[in-house]
Amino acid sequence: MKKRYSLNDIKKTLKEKDAFSTVFFVDPIAIRILYLIANYTRITPNYITIFSLIIWIVWVLCWFFWYYIISSILFYIAFIFDCMDWKLSRLKWISTKF
């Protein structure tokens, strides 16, 4: 039987001290998305890292071609997913050599 994680379980993976922007603008969204990913999918932290890397690459291209509004949104989304991979690995105690 698959273990269900609560929001409190996910909040335990948060760092004690973190940047203001991460605590107030990223973590509230990241833990709710992570709740869905941890409980209802088989997505691993490596998949989240790859997805985040793709978003970062698209962000650079948008920024380079002066699409600043789109690049701002992509930066925020990429940062959220970049924080989520670490939290998911801590939550499920998953580690890889990669």
Q: Could you read off the pLDDT of 30-54 as tens digits, one per residue?
A: 999 999 999 999 999 999 999 999 9
- Reading the block at residue 91, the tokens are 């939550």
Q: Examine residue 2 and state whether it is found in any structural domain, yes or no.
A: no
> In this structure, how many other beta carbons lie within 10 angstroms of the beta carbon of residue 89?
18
Q: Examine residue 98 and state whether it is found in any structural domain, yes or no.
A: no
- Reading the block at residue 93, the tokens are 């105690």
Q: What is the pTM of this model?
A: 0.85
Cα 93 from Cα 81, distance rounded (Å): 18
CA 30 to each of CA 1, 51, 68: distance values in angstroms, whole numbers, following the listed order: 25, 14, 23
Task: Please give the angle made by the CA atoms of 81, 65 and 80, to the nearest 5 degrees.
Answer: 10
Q: Which domain holds residue 73?
A: 20-91
Q: Examine residue 47 and state whether it is found in any structural domain, yes or no.
A: yes
Q: Examine residue 72 and state whether it is found in any structural domain, yes or no.
A: yes
Q: Examine residue 80 and state whether it is found in any structural domain, yes or no.
A: yes
Domain total in the chain: 1
Q: Could you read off the pLDDT of 62-92 as tens digits, one per residue?
A: 999 999 999 999 999 999 999 898 899 989 8
Q: Examine residue 37 and state whether it is found in any structural domain, yes or no.
A: yes
- Tokens 């925020």 belong to which residue? 76
Q: Examine residue 86 and state whether it is found in any structural domain, yes or no.
A: yes
Q: Examine residue 3 and state whether it is found in any structural domain, yes or no.
A: no
The single-letter code of the amino acid at 52 is: S
